[in-house]
Structure 1
Amino acid sequence: MSLTQKALIVSELGKPVTLVSDWPIPEPGTDQVQVKVTVAGLNPHDEKSRDWGLFILRDLSPVTKDFPDDADLPSVLTNDVVGRITKLGPGVTDLEVGDRIVYQPSFAPGSKQNGLQEYAIAELGALAKIPDSITDDEAATLPTNIIPPLVALFDTLQIPAPWLPAAKDFDYANTTILVVGGGSNCGQFGVQLAKLANVGRIIVVGGDQTKLKSFGATHVIDRHAGYDTILAKIRDIVGDDLVYAYDAISPPDGQLLALNALSSSKKGALARLIPLGKVDESKVLGKGAGFDVRDVFGSSQAHPKLAAEFWSRVPYYLETGQIKPQDYVVKKGLSADSVNEVLDAYKEGKRVTKTHIHL
């Protein structure tokens, strides 16, 4: 095998990705495998990586649009990857060369795991074998969009994951969760995970009612109904009992909806995916028992025990339909133009269907 490969790289922040043919082929270390990439899925954060260094800059506090010198450049993008195993690293015993896997790369700057290269590295605890009944593209809809709600529900909000011993004593049937952003992939997977845990009431703001109810939502509220109307509808359903809320899409101002829907007499918590600043707590009214705003980092590597337990169950969940893949479109070939077109659309705020690059 050659020592180099084709890859699409970010060589300068704020500039288009470019194709190179001399990118080093990474070798697997302990508890890792080398993968010949078949699908690399693009997501909104990839545009932020290309344009201002998210997950490329070594120091992201505070995040700015200045382009400092502490970036790991050049760098490869994408954290949804499917491929076939080509080499096993030391310590890998339950996988074989030729196995088809889906995995979530590390978000660490300089990662050798990202998908826009012909060969990449995957690590145990952040991958799953793909069942024969599931296509590469279906599997590739999972990593970036299912791990954040997994962390939000079963770590950030501290609802016991259904496979844990604590699940035996947790009253899922009488538990309610509010999901804001039901039209997003992270929102839809959040609904599916809540249903997987048999949460009794799953109230969703936004998204297609038929689809969300097929995923397990018990109530779906039109996000265009207006703030006061939406809040009133939530409170009509939950009364003063809501203590779990998950917001998949909103900046801080939009997070006020979920916070004001929380109970006044019981301490509640909001798990948010977009931690772009503090919430104006003066606009959160009547919370006599207090509330928490908790940030979510949807990384398998940052939550190794939870992620490993989940990824080990993913083949079964996919085969039984308890986890349903999301929508996607395909662009064929390792083309800089194709990738930049999608990332530019994210940058311009256009509606983008999740796009998979077929290498």
Structure 2
Amino acid sequence: MSYAIRIHEIGGPEVLRLEQVEVGEPGPGEARVRHTYVAVNFIDVYFRTGRYPMPLPNGLGSDAVGVVEAVGPGVTDIRPGDRVGYLLGPQGAYSDVRVMPADVLIPIPDGVRDSTAATLMMKGMTAQYLFRQVRPLEAGETILYHAAAGGVGLIACQLARALGVTMIGTVSTDEKAEVARANGCAHVIVTSREDIAKRVREITDGKGVPVVYDSVGKDTLMASLDSLQPRGVLVSNGTSSGPVVIDTTLLAMKGSIWLTRPAMIHYATPRSHMLDMAREVFDWVLAGKIASEPSQTFALADAAEAHRALESRRTVGATVLQP
């Protein structure tokens, strides 16, 4: 018998239930994957609370790594025994084994541990598409990145350093500031006691930055706008503090600002593009440019506690579940 976390109603962490589930054989175009690690992402909270609607009852979780146990008819590029990860496909990663569409599976190369890959599926690929596609960065630029000590943030710190980019990162505590610096963040702003936009202007000699990556949302919107140069880009890649609601005339008033709200699905498809993205991320790991391991590990049955830790901002770096 297999187990999975299921939700039957939207709400707090208490709606996450560990249940026995039947997992059958893969059908055409499918593969059965036994998980070794399951990633916990803030987007999971959005689904659990109903910010991102989905039919109920349902599973939860979008990315994991594991080993292929069986493949269905028509699957030719994935074989039993392959180590794989995924970040797209239906909700339901919070499980020990599941049947998946094979075309979303990403082979994990030798030299990259499962524990490392578990932090790179959604988080590493997010850093890749933010810095390399949404608003491609160039060496010598200075950027502002919110939540620099988070799961994506620590990878972003290292990637910015590898790209020759000066990263100004925001964090909530001095302890998180030390972690961000250790991972390559050039300047760290502690939001509990520092004015974000004022510090950005001081660091940049009054110029501001050409791009802000803001996964916090409502609480940091004005600081992000006030930190940008004229015709700068605000990349709104998350809303952990609440949705962003903006009158577009404000974008003109703040300097003809460009605003984008990217979604992974539009950057990681078709499959060939997703594999190219993953290959670049894994190459960074194998070249020693980024190193990533889970900072917090919870048992699958303790998914609710993992959510409580994530929402309370007690976590640093990546959080995973272990079936």
Residue 169 of structure 2 is aligned to residue 204 of structure 1 = yes
Residue 322 of structure 2 is aligned to residue 358 of structure 1 = yes
Instruction: Report the equivalent of 2:210.
Output: 243
Q: CA deviation at 1:308?
A: 2.5
Alignment of 1:190-269 (within 5 A): 190-196=156-162, 198-206=163-171, 208-227=176-195, 230-238=196-204, 239-240=206-207, 242-248=209-215, 250-264=216-230, 267-269=231-233
CA 1:311–1:91: 2 relative to 1, 3 Å: farther
Q: CA deviation at 1:124?
A: 4.1
Which of 273, 297, 313 is the matching residue for 1:330? Answer: 297
Instruction: Report the equivalent of 1:165.
Output: none
Task: Provide the rounded CA distance (Å) in 1 between the counterparts of 2:198 and 2:17.
Answer: 50
The alignment partner of 1:186 has SS state of helix
C-alpha distance after superposition, 1:18-40 (max 9, x if no partner):
3333434362543x533112222
TM-score (norm. length: structure 2) = 0.81
CA 1:8–1:113: 2 relative to 1, 3 Å: closer
Letter matched to residue 116 of structure 1: S
The alignment partner of 1:141 has SS state of helix
Q: Percent identity?
A: 21
Q: CA deviation at 1:241?
A: 5.8
CA 1:33–1:149: 2 relative to 1, 3 Å: same
Residue 23 of structure 2 is aligned to residue 6 of structure 1 = no
Task: Provide the rounded CA distance (Å) in 2 between the counterparts of 1:234 and 1:285.
Answer: 20
Letter matched to residue 21 of structure 1: Q
Letter matched to residue 205 of structure 1: T
C-alpha distance after superposition, 1:138-160 (max 9, x if no partner):
32122232333333223332x16
Which of 81, 86, 104 is the matching residue for 2:69? Answer: 86
Letter matched to residue 85 of structure 2: V
Residue 237 of structure 2 is aligned to residue 270 of structure 1 = no
RMSD value, Cα = 3.2
C-alpha distance after superposition, 1:198-250 (max 9, x if no partner):
143222222744543443333223333332xx3233123324262111113x2
Residue 112 of structure 2 is aligned to residue 129 of structure 1 = no
Instruction: Report the equivalent of 1:149.
Output: 127
Q: Number of matched residues?
A: 312
Task: Provide the rounded CA distance (Å) in 2 between the counterparts of 1:92 and 1:50.
Answer: 32
The alignment partner of 2:264 has SS state of coil
TM-score (norm. length: structure 1) = 0.73
CA 1:199–1:28: 2 relative to 1, 3 Å: farther
**Mind listing any 5+ residue stretches in structure 1 that lack a counterpart?**
58-70, 161-171
Letter matched to residue 223 of structure 1: T
Which of 34, 43, 46 is the matching residue for 2:41? Answer: 43
Task: Provide the rounded CA distance (Å) in 2 between the counterparts of 1:76 and 1:301.
Answer: 24
C-alpha distance after superposition, 1:105-159 (max 9, x if no partner):
32xxxx266242422325446524153452x2232122232333333223332x1
Instruction: Report the equivalent of 1:298.
Output: 264
Quick check: 1:195–1:216 contact (8 Å CA) kept in 2?
Answer: yes
